[in-house]
Structures are given as C-alpha cells and as structure tokens.
C-alpha cells in the first residue's frame, strides 16, 4: 500500500512538473521573419501560394494542438483516478509523442512546400534562412530533447515498479 502511494505521489509530481513546463505558451515559429523574408521579393502569385500554404498549415497545427490538449486532460483525468491502468497511461504518453511528431512533420512539410514555389535565387535565401534558424535552435532543441527523453525514462521506471 505504501509503495503504491509513493509511486502515485512520484508520478503526480512528475506530471505536475511536466504540465508546468508545457503550460507555457508555445512560441510560434514563423518561417519567414526578419530581413530574409523581405529579401525574397515574392511575386503576387508566389505570395498567394505562400498564404495558402501558411493558412493550411495553421489549420493543421490548430487541430494537432487541440488533440495534444485533450490528451493532456485525459492524462490528468486518468491519474486523478486512484486505480488507473498503466497500459492506459502508457498509451496516452505514446499518443502525445505521436502528436508532437505530427506537429514537427507539418512544419517541415510547410517549409518544403514554400521552397517549391520559389525561384533559384529565392531558394538560396530560403536555405540560408533555414540553416541559420536550425543552428540557432539546435542547442535548445537538443536540450529539450534530452529533457523529454529523461522524463520518458523516469515514467517508464515508475511504471515498471
């Protein structure tokens, strides 16, 4: 009984820490900001295609973020129940990881679609912008990835006990 209480309280603490980290508003990644956007000199046709791509991506991201929020609520609901199933919890964690992957794929898909509508000079500027952005974000994404992996390992250890 004590072991179950301690496992539940440890898991609740991890969940609180996890939700407080992700409770911060997500920074919206705008694919073209700064001088690089204005140096692209998009034609009207390119601009309209770009807007279509951006709006379609925004709709997709809204759906994914909504599903993530619902999944987090389901996790909270499940954990509030004293006799929750570890299989159910594991499936919710896996669903969360899948949704985060879908969000990354959607962003990548948008970048590729924009790349396809550009002419060779614009593509060169676009690639420079992309590589600058990736270098800048690489440190934070690696750190975040390591922290996410650490939390997942801790959850698995708790579930195995």
45 assigned to some structural domain: yes
148 assigned to some structural domain: no
159 assigned to some structural domain: no
35 assigned to some structural domain: yes
pLDDT at 151: 72
Q: Of residues 34 and 90, which shows the higher confidence score?
A: 90
Query: Hey, what are 13's tokens?
Result: 């603490």
* Nearest residue to 144 (alpha-carbon basis) of 8, 3, 24, 39: 24
- Distance, CA of 142 to CA of 133 (rounded, Å): 14
73 assigned to some structural domain: yes
Number of folded domains in the chain? 1
* Predicted confidence (pLDDT) per residue in 128-141, tens digit: 776 655 555 555 56
CATH number for 138: 1.20.120
Q: Which domain holds residue 91?
A: 28-142
Give the end-to-end CA distance of the chain in Å, rounded to a whole number. 13
* pTM value surpassing 0.75: no
151 assigned to some structural domain: no
């Amino acid at each position: 009984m004590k072991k179950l209480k301690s496992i539940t309280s440890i898991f609740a603490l991890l969940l609180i820490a996890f939700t407080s980290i992700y409770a911060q508003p997500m920074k919206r990644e705008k694919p073209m900001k700064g001088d690089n956007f204005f140096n692209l000199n998009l034609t009207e046709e390119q601009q309209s295609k770009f807007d279509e791509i951006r709006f379609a991506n925004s709709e997709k991201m809204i759906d994914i973020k909504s599903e993530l929020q619902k999944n987090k609520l389901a996790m909270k609901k499940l954990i509030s129940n004293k006799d929750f199933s570890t299989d159910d919890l594991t499936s919710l964690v896996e669903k969360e990881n899948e949704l985060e992957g879908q969000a990354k794929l959607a962003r990548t898909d948008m970048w590729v679609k924009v790349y396809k509508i550009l002419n060779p000079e614009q593509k060169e500027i676009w690639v420079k912008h992309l590589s600058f952005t990736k270098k800048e974000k690489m440190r934070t994404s690696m750190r975040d990835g390591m922290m996410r992996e650490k939390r997942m390992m801790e959850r698995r250890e708790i579930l195995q006990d």
